[in-house]
């Protein structure tokens, strides 16, 4: 414990915003990444504005304490995990929507605004914020920006970075940097905004975000295609892309996930299917025609059954089934290995669309070779899959087999021309794989950027690099 640091923090932020109770500290210790280490933090601070964030950063720097920024801790790579002696800066109290501008189609928010809250607020003004990670009902915009989060709509609308116009960031010196602009166009200087998007709290603390918005989408129709193999579903995805179609979502669930979701929350899903593709077209009057073209592509790839949601309620239920994939797999792990021993190692690999079938076949082979259950779910439309590896935490051999499977999937993704993470980030989980992917020159450039902005290694040490 560092009494002088705690005193400085209380003087700057007030007693109520500085948390030292051991039980509270444990609750802030980690994000949702399984099997990633977490240290013992010194303190959690909950600032309410940029000035308080800057004061906390300056105090930590004076006392040589590492700083770990945190949002809702829904991340899946360990990027928000505490390190020993850290000042955890929880940004969830900074949850104000500062402005929604319908003319310029922008929103300015503090980092603690929940994704679903922003989506509802802009929808009330006839606007749309597309990035929708699976945790959208609890994850924060600051965390989404820090990890460059994706989601189900990204196949058509793109990931978070494509919507971030500008940022306010507290640097390691305690200075406040403003990046970007509110104009639709602007190319003055280096693109510092995109530098901070996806940096996972290693370069600064994001305290305000200006986002671009879209007009609300037109009426949507949803289609489900059932396949006798995951590879056939992957072939359908490649055909949809080659046919020039632009679905507003294109999601894959394998049989393991279908059965897990049905066991977790019965919905009448086809648990006998090997894979299910969930796709939609939000093109209003053209939606029926576009959905029929999607159906034709699925039939050509060998779909065993195809049906269209009859109304928005049924479509919403199908979408909710996809969002239940993660908690359903956690439930499966708990049922498979009781007494709290069930764990899920969540992978996140993206490959070119024409390599998706090979990836899915390869994951099935790896599951058999490593003798571990692996369920695959993900954003098929952009080749971003999440193989979920179920392990027994109490059995070192089970964990070792799970880690072997994880590494084999990572290598397979790179061999297929892909990347080690499509949306979850590097965090603690994939530092080695980042180095393999970008090579020594890429690592030197990234380290040079880190050293220039954070020469003492104050922010989120041990993450990403």
Question: What pLDDT digit, counting tens, does each position of 431-451 carry?
Answer: 999 999 999 999 999 999 999
Fold of 97-215: 3.30.465
Tens digits of residue pLDDT in 205-224: 999 999 999 999 999 999 99
* 221-415 is a CATH 3.40.50.720 domain: no
CATH 3.30.465.10 residue ranges of the chain are 97-215
- For residue 436, CA distances in Å to 33, 339, 341, 389, 416 come to 21, 37, 31, 22, 14
What is the number of other CB atoms lying within 10 angstroms of the CB of residue 442?
Answer: 12
CATH 3.40.462.10 residue ranges of the chain are 221-415
C-beta of residue 179 within 8 angstroms of C-beta of residue 193: yes
Closest CA to 201 of 161, 157, 146: 146
User: Among all chains, which residue has been given the structure tokens 């073209």?
Assistant: 293
Which pLDDT belongs to residue 22? 96
Distance CA 263, CA 267 (A): 9
Distance CA 174, CA 176 (A): 7
What is the number of other CB atoms lying within 10 angstroms of the CB of residue 308?
Answer: 17
Show the tokens assigned to 231. 């590879």
* 3-90 is a CATH 3.30.43.10 domain: yes
Show the tokens assigned to 419. 């990347």
SS3 at position 425? coil
pLDDT > 80? residue 382: yes
- Under the banding of pLDDT at 50, 70 and 90, the label for residue 74 is very high
Tens digits of residue pLDDT in 16-36: 999 999 999 999 999 999 879
pLDDT > 70? residue 126: yes
Share of the chain above pLDDT 90, in %: 93
Distance CA 233, CA 280 (A): 15
pTM for the full predicted model: 0.95
C-beta of residue 288 within 8 angstroms of C-beta of residue 235: no
User: In terms of C-beta density within 10 A (0-12 exposed, 13-18 middle, 19 or more buried), how is residue 411 classed?
Assistant: middle
Tens digits of residue pLDDT in 153-193: 999 999 999 999 999 999 999 999 999 998 888 899 999 99
CATH 3.30.43.10 residue ranges of the chain are 3-90
Q: What are phi and psi of 97, to 5 degrees?
A: -85, 110
- Under the banding of pLDDT at 50, 70 and 90, the label for residue 1 is low
Distance CA 129, CA 8 (A): 39
CA 229 remoteness from chain centre: 27
Which pLDDT belongs to residue 183? 85
> What number of CA atoms fall less than 13 Å from residue 44's CA on the CB side?
24
């Amino acid at each position: 414990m560092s009494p002088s640091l705690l005193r400085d923090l209380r003087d700057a932020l007030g007693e109520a915003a500085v948390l030292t109770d051991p039980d509270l500290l444990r609750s802030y210790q980690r994000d949702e990444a399984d099997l990633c280490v977490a240290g013992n933090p010194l303190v959690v601070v909950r600032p309410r504005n940029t000035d308080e964030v800057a004061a906390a950063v300056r105090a930590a720097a004076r006392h040589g304490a590492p700083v770990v920024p945190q949002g809702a801790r829904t991340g899946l790579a360990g990027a928000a995990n505490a390190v020993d002696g850290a000042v955890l800066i929880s940004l969830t109290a900074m949850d104000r929507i500062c402005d929604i501008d319908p003319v310029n189609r922008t929103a300015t928010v503090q980092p603690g605004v929940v994704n679903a809250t922003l989506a509802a607020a802009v929808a009330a003004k006839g606007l749309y914020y597309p990035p929708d990670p699976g945790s959208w009902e609890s994850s924060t915009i600051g965390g989404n920006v820090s990890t460059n989060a994706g989601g189900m709509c990204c196949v058509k609308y793109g990931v978070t970075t494509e919507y971030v116009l500008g940022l306010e960031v507290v640097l390691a010196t305690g200075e406040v940097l403003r990046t970007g602009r509110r104009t639709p166009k602007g190319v003055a200087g280096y693109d510092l905004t995109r530098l901070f998007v996806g940096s996972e709290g290693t370069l600064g603390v994001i305290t305000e975000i200006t986002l671009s918005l879209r007009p609300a989408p037109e009426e949507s129709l949803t289609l489900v295609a059932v396949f006798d193999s995951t590879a056939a579903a992957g072939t359908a995805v490649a055909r949809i892309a080659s046919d020039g179609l632009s679905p507003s979502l294109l999601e894959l669930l394998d049989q393991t996930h279908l059965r897990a979701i049905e066991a977790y929350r019965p919905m009448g899903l086809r648990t006998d299917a090997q894979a299910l593709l969930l796709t939609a077209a939000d093109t209003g009057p053209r939606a029926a025609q576009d959905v029929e073209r999607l159906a034709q592509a699925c039939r050509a790839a060998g779909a065993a059954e195809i049906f269209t949601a009859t109304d928005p309620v049924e479509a919403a239920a199908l979408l909710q089934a996809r969002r239940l994939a993660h908690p359903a797999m956690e439930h499966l792990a708990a049922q498979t290995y009781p007494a709290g021993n069930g764990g899920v190692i969540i992978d996140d690999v993206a490959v070119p669309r024409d390599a998706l079938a090979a990836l899915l076949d390869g994951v099935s082979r790896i599951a058999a070779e490593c003798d571990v259950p692996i369920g695959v779910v993900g954003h098929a439309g952009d080749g971003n899959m999440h193989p979920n590896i179920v392990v027994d935490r109490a059995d070192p051999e089970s964990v070792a087999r799970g880690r072997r499977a994880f590494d084999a999937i990572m290598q397979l993704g790179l061999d297929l021309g892909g990347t080690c993470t499509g949306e979850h980030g590097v965090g603690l989980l994939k530092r080695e794989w980042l180095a393999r992917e970008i090579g020594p020159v890429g690592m030197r450039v990234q380290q040079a950027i880190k050293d220039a902005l954070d020469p003492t290694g104050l922010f989120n040490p041990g993450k990403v690099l």
